[in-house]
A and B are shown apart, each in its own frame.
Chain A
Amino acid sequence: MEFSELIKTAKPGGDGEQGTVELWLLIRNVDAVEKRFASSSGTITLKCKDLRVLQLEIPGMEECLNIASSIEALSSVESVMMMYPFFYRPHSMKLEQGWHLYLPHHYYQQTSAWRLSSVNRDFATCSTYPSAIIVPAIVDDEALRKIARFRQGGRFPVLSYYHKKNQTVMLRSGQPLMGPNKKRCQEDELLLKAALCGRARGFVIDTRSAQAAKQARMTGGGSEPKAAYLGWKRLHRPLERGRPLQESFMKLVEACNDPSLGMDRWLSKLESSKWLSHVKAALSTACLAAQCMEREEACVLVHGAEGTDTTLLVTALAQVILDPDCRTLVGFQHLLEREWIQAGHPFHLRCAHSAYSHARLKQEAPVFLLFLDCVGQLGRQFPFSLEFSERLLLALFENSYASAYGTFLCNSEKERSLCKVKETTHSLWSWLNQPNQQKEYLNPLYSYNALVIWPSVEPQSLQLWQGLFLQWIRSSQYLDEAWAEIQRLVEGSKTPRTNGAAHSQRLLPH
Chain B
Amino acid sequence: MEHIRTPKVENVRFIDRISSRKAALGTLYLTATHVIFVENVSETRKETWILHSQISSIEKQATTATGCPLLIRCKNFQIIQLIIPQERDCHDVYISLIRLTRPVKYEELYCFSFNPKLDKEEREEGWKLVDLNEEYNRMGIPNNYWQISDVNREYGVCDSYPTEVYVPRSATAHIIVGSSKFRSRRRFPALSYYCKDNHASICRSSQPLSGFSARCLEDEQMLQAIRKANPGSDFIYVVDTRPKLNAMANRAAGKGYENEDNYSNIKFQFIGIENIHVMRNSLQKMLEVCELRSPSMSDFLWGLENSGWLKHIKAIMDAGIFIAKAVAEEGVSVLVHCSDGWDRTAQVCSVASLLLDPYYRTLKGFMVLIEKDWVSFGHKFNHRYGNLDGDPKEISPVIDQFIECVWQLMEQFPCAFEFNERFLIHIQHHIYSCQFGNFLCNSQKERQELKIQERTYSLWAHLWKNRVDYMNPLYRADHGQTQETLHPQTAPCNFLYKFWSGMYNRFEKGMHPRQSVIDYLMAVKEETQQLEEELEVLEERLSNLKKVQVNNNKVKNMQQDRNKALRLSASNNSIANTPQEYSNNLKSFPSRSPSQGDEEDSALILTQDNLKSSDPDLSATSDQESGVEDLNCRSPSGGCLPSEDSGKDPDSDEAVFLTA
Contact = CB atoms under 8 A, between A and B. Distances in A.
Given A234-B652, A489-B525, A283 B636 contact: yes
Interface string B470-512: 0001101001010000000101111111110100010010111
B304 interface: yes
Given A460-B300, A474-B489, A500 B559 contact: no
Contacts of B556: 509
Nearest to A214: B649
A164 interface: no
B627 interface: yes
Contact of B638 (A284, A445, A461): A284
B517 A210 contact: no
Q: Among B302, B476, B638, which residue has the most Cβ atoms of chain A within 10 A?
A: B638
Contacts of B644: 209
B542 A496 contact: no
B378 to A, nearest CB: 31
Contacts of B496: 474
B371 to A, nearest CB: 28
Given A209-B644, A447-B577, A493-B524, A263 B649 contact: no
B634 interface: yes
A43 interface: no
A499 B574 CA distance: 21
Interface residues of A, number: 87
Measured as residues with beta carbon below 8 angstroms from the partner, the interface class of chain B is: 35 or more
B555 interface: yes
A164 to B, nearest CB: 18
Interface stretch (B127-135, B193-201, B526-534): B526-534
Interface in B245-304: 290, 294-302, 304
Nearest to B648: A210
Contacts of B493: 474
Contact of A447 (B491, B545, B578, B653): B578
B528 A238 contact: no
A454 interface: yes
A478 B413 contact: yes
A226 interface: yes
B301 A210 contact: no
A179 to B, nearest CB: 16
Nearest to B638: A284
A295 B632 CA distance: 10
B528 A489 contact: yes
Given A456-B510, A482-B414, A291 B637 contact: yes
A482 B515 contact: no
A401 B115 CA distance: 64
A11 interface: no
Interface in A250-308: 256, 258-259, 261-264, 266-268, 270-271, 274, 276-277, 279-280, 283-284, 287-288, 291, 295-296
B495 A380 contact: no
B495 A460 contact: no
B609 to A, nearest CB: 38
A464 interface: yes
Interface string B576-615: 0111100000000000000000000000000000000000
Contacts of A454: 627-629, 631, 636
A407 B356 CA distance: 50
Interface string A481-509: 11001100110110011011001101111
Contacts of A276: 297, 301
Contacts of B643: 209, 236-238
Contacts of A500: 531, 534-535, 538, 562, 566
B4 interface: no
Interface of A: 203, 209-211, 213-214, 223, 225-226, 233-238, 256, 258-259, 261-264, 266-268, 270-271, 274, 276-277, 279-280, 283-284, 287-288, 291, 295-296, 380-385, 445, 447, 449, 451-464, 466, 470, 473-475, 478-479, 481-482, 485-486, 489-490, 492-493, 496-497, 499-500, 503-504, 506-509
15 contacts: A203-B657, A238-B643, A263-B497, A267-B310, A267-B494, A383-B515, A384-B578, A445-B520, A460-B505, A478-B412, A479-B414, A485-B474, A486-B517, A497-B531, A507-B555
